[in-house]
Structure 1
Amino acid sequence: MSSFDKIRTRIAPSPTGFLHLGTARTALYSWAYARHHGGEFVLRIEDTDVARSTQDSVDQIIAAMNWLGLSYDEGPIYQMQRLDRYQAVIEQLIASGRAYRCYATPEELTAMREAQKARGEKTLYDRRWRPEPGKTLPTPPEGVKPVIRFANPIEGDVTWDDIVKGSITINNREIDDLIIARADGVPTYNFAVVVDDWDMRISHVFRGDEHVNNTPWQINIFNALGAPLPSFGHLPIILGDDGLKLSKRRGAVSVMDYAANGYLPEGMLNYLARLGWSHGDDELFSAEQMVSWFDGSHLSKSPAQWDPAKLDWVNGHYVKHIDETRLAGLVVEQLAAKGVAVTVEEIQPKVGLFKDRCATVAALADWLAMYFVPVTPLADDLAAHITDAIRPALAALAEKLAALTEWNKTTLQQTLKETLAATGLKMPQLAVPVRVLVCGRAQTPSLDAVLEHFDKKKVLERLQSL
């Protein structure tokens, strides 16, 4: 911390698609680390991939951050609004001899790499346009706009103490003179990220371990600029349940898709936190608890594996324990997305009966939909449970229910008992057929408690439908 007066972390997604789960986890760790130390968290949008960046992606990223509750102290900051700053730093590097213009054409570079392969050499740029003492450079060709390359040190090692992986060393001979600005003047990732982190006084960088090989270039650029080095922590990848890397290019679902599918932000944060970090044996904890614990230690060096069943278990815990008024509001949103218009007042009395069975709000909405829209029992359930032997009992129950002047759990329970006594049936023999016809499914919570929340007329219509 000697070079920084405050802990400052950042998340810097590229707006070329949705905020995927790996980036969300990195954002969570960066946010928690800053909050733990009383520091600041920055949102930066790395939009220099102009061809693929979209405003829709930016909107989805911001929506996902807001849904997760990962509040940022600065941002969003857009790289494409900082082009003048990058150009100024490039000119500074050229003037100091730490960067240079390269006029090699794509065809020349391809031929160079093919020749290196033929000789069994590693394919690295041969520094043909790098100024050196006693070297005469070719005359720049007409009509060719140069790229700008960083004059990477030729000798020595780059070593850093990674927060996650420990000490890492890469020899400078393994890396070549990186292009830091394209021919159109737009900076490349490894250069822009250094200038941004320098200007934004980023003290700690958490990111995926696919960036390990970028780090030596970035450290060398930091050093060339005389800029303070942040601490780096490279997080292992998240594997899908098929054992392959989870990524937005391999069908990973976006954070906002999980929101749309009825997951809760506290459930998602809790689950993401445990994908690569632990605090003893704690499995369930709030964001506030995580902040109090997350000091950068106990980060795993091994890949984590996405487990949908574990996510459902964690999320189900929060479905059971959040405020029921809020839960009812979320159910209303789920039903509205399916074209079912209901109110919180209609939903709230019912959520307590079903929430213990549900891993998501979407699942809870599926249960509660039966109160508002027609149900379609499965053909197999109808065949198995609505038999000629049971129809007289269903008719008798319907007749008794129609005569009720009070509709509540007590009167419904008594009516069911009277029907069983009159027909000689056991409760499952009557209750399951009633569930199939009224609820559209063979299993529900206690039948009297379920029927209590139905409109009497609707129950009678469904019992008499077959």
Structure 2
Amino acid sequence: MNTDQREVRVRFAPSPTGPLHIGGVRTALYNYLFARKYGGQMLLRIEDTDQNRFVPGAEDYIIESLNWLGITIDEGPVNGGPHAPYRQSERSEIYRKEAERLVAEGKAYYAFDTAEELEAMRKRMEEANAPAAQYNAITRLQMKNSLTLSAGEVQERIASGAPYVIRLKVPRKEDVRLNDLIRGWVVVHSSQIDDKVLIKSDGLPTYHLANIVDDHLMGITHVIRGEEWLPSAPLHVLLYRFLGWESTMPQFAHLPLLLKPDGNGKLSKRDADLGGFPVFPLQWKDPFTQAVARGFREDGYLPEALVNFLAFLGWNPGTEQELFTMDELIQAFSLEQIHKAGARFDIQKAKWFNHEYLRRQPNDRLAEAVVRQAAADGVDCPVEKAEKITGLMKERVTFAHELYAESAIFFRAPESYDPAVVSGKWNDEAVRALTAFRDALASAEDPLTAEAAKTVLATSLAEAGIKQGKIMQALRLAITGVGAGPDLMITLEIIGRQETIDRLQLALDKLAVGSSPS
């Protein structure tokens, strides 16, 4: 990877228009991995020049999301830096200065056209079957701008407060070239690029101008962003050239789209709602409608799992390894291994990652959730018991909140028994075996460990002349009500000696041979 001679500096530049889409999170992650791989810097810049779309709380949401995922920022609106401010709404004078310079150099111009005049122009172009109804090198000469009006009239309009915009003067016949680090050479003819607005009538810059000015002034060396910005890249190349910054223009890398689970089309919130999964890192409550959108964090995903999942959406390390720490991702990551094609969003794979990371979590960390949920349910669960439950059950669940939900057998005796197991395994031999085991436990000593339970069971069955394999499912049935589940001896250790005796007696009382289970 050519990182030229400058220190690598990348930026994540979201707009605070609502919750951060998971595609934006992946963009931030790739920027972070790339910067850290080359010992560079990661900037956060808030692109809030479109005040009509600004949503209160969105900036804080973006920052909290990055913090939760472990994507650390070197410069930004919170921790500052040498290129502050990092909110574009606070940098308006910088952009206007550069736009006015372009006008003075004949590379941009003032345009005074009204909305009605612009619409009339588009209709004329459509009626003439023009390739595109756009403001360009041809149509600009038919409009009201500083290229068709006298200098005096232009100054008079500006002095009178007439609304105007500043447009880029795109050359008419020229190939614009861009060597994208993922897609290779991209060539667009300038006739396909319209005279984009640089400064809007409200005095604020458009994304195109602010983006280029900030990336230059902030020393950005690599722009890693979504594929949706690829059509704008040739325009940005022109801006770098017109502003005289072509020699320090960053290298571009346009990431593949995140696709729907079926692979047909770009992933949207509606797809997520239909599929029953989130597309935002954190839960979001709309400040205007109060509508709540689910988040990966609140759904129970671990940040490490989500990071690992997102890293693989468009990138592959070229090895069989699937589970990576953040440091390992940093070492393995490269733009050369990013695919051009879109990446299908497979929520089942995300769940697999979460399960794999969950089962690697320390028992004491996960036990806190079990204790908390049990207390909310009016059930007392000591930490020691919760840790044992966690150690036994975390292999069997996907999310931490499922640990308590799947652990009912450790807190209460079964209220019913699986009729299929009863009819197939509950017989006179099972009754004799469990009675012997019950009596042996009554004289055993506390605490009842898994090893002790195993020994007592083997001894009592040997004395009764019963083979253990024939009655194990009946024993599980008596303890849990079903014929399958986690390690039975550890289960007995967790519920304890007296509870084991009580459950055996309950089953013996309720499941008389030949009766129907209840």
Select 2:203's aligned residue among 185, 188, 192.
185
Distance, in Å, in 2 between the alignment partners of 1:158 and 1:302 is 23
Matched, 1:216 2:234: yes
* TM-superposed deviation, 1:362: 3.4
Change (3 A) 1:345 1:97: farther
Moved more, 34-43 or 347-356: 347-356
Distance, in Å, in 1 between the alignment partners of 2:241 and 2:267 is 34
* TM-superposed deviation, 1:132: 3.5
Could you tell me whether the CA contact under 8 Å between 2:479 and 2:500 is conserved in 1? Answer: no
Change (3 A) 1:410 1:134: closer
Distance, in Å, in 1 between the alignment partners of 2:369 and 2:201 is 50
Distance, in Å, in 1 between the alignment partners of 2:57 and 2:212 is 26
Distance, in Å, in 2 between the alignment partners of 1:49 and 1:375 is 60
Could you tell me whether the CA contact under 8 Å between 2:371 and 2:383 is conserved in 1? Answer: yes
Which of these two proteins has the greater Rg computed from alpha carbons? 2
Q: Which residue of 2 aligns with 1:79?
A: 88
* TM-superposed deviation, 1:443: 3.2
Q: Which residue of 1 aligns with 2:125?
A: 116
Q: Which residue of 1 aligns with 2:262?
A: 242
Change (3 A) 1:133 1:179: closer
Q: Which residue of 2 aligns with 1:408?
A: 449
Distance, in Å, in 2 between the alignment partners of 1:388 and 1:134 is 95
Q: Deviations over 1:172-231 (max 9, x none)?
A: 110111112222122211121112211211100111111011111212122222222110
* TM-superposed deviation, 1:341: 8.4
Distance, in Å, in 1 between the alignment partners of 2:380 and 2:202 is 53
Could you tell me whether the CA contact under 8 Å between 1:334 and 1:361 is conserved in 2? Answer: no
* TM-superposed deviation, 1:333: 7.2
Change (3 A) 1:7 1:404: same
Moved more, 319-328 or 117-126: 319-328
Change (3 A) 1:409 1:328: same
Matched, 1:233 2:259: no
* TM-superposed deviation, 1:403: 6.1
Moved more, 145-154 or 211-220: 145-154
Within 5 A, what are the aligned runs for 1:310-349? 310-329=349-368, 345-349=384-388
Unaligned runs of 5+ in 2: 78-85, 273-277, 283-294, 508-517
Q: Name the SS of the counterpart of 2:358 in structure 1.
A: helix
**RMSD of aligned residue pairs (Cα, Å):** 3.6
Q: Name the SS of the counterpart of 1:255 in structure 2.
A: coil
* Structure 2 length-normalised TM: 0.77
Q: Which residue of 2 aligns with 1:132?
A: 147
The structure, 1 or 2, with the larger RCO (C-alpha pairs under 8 Å, 6+ apart) is 1
Q: Which residue of 2 aligns with 1:268?
A: 306
* Structure 1 length-normalised TM: 0.85
Q: Which residue of 2 aligns with 1:32?
A: 33
Could you tell me whether the CA contact under 8 Å between 2:434 and 2:475 is conserved in 1? Answer: no
Letter in 2 for 1:131: S
Distance, in Å, in 1 between the alignment partners of 2:413 and 2:221 is 57
Change (3 A) 1:458 1:53: farther
Select 2:104's aligned residue among 95, 113, 118.
95
Q: Which residue of 2 aligns with 1:433?
A: 477
Distance, in Å, in 1 between the alignment partners of 2:439 and 2:87 is 69
* TM-superposed deviation, 1:275: 1.6
Q: Which residue of 2 aligns with 1:452?
A: 493
Distance, in Å, in 1 between the alignment partners of 2:380 and 2:499 is 17
* TM-superposed deviation, 1:312: 2.7
Change (3 A) 1:9 1:312: same
Moved more, 264-273 or 407-416: 407-416
* TM-superposed deviation, 1:171: 1.0
Distance, in Å, in 1 between the alignment partners of 2:480 and 2:401 is 21
Select 1:289's aligned residue among 319, 328, 340.
328
Q: Name the SS of the counterpart of 1:75 in structure 2.
A: coil
Percent identity between matched residues is 34
Select 1:259's aligned residue among 297, 304, 323.
297
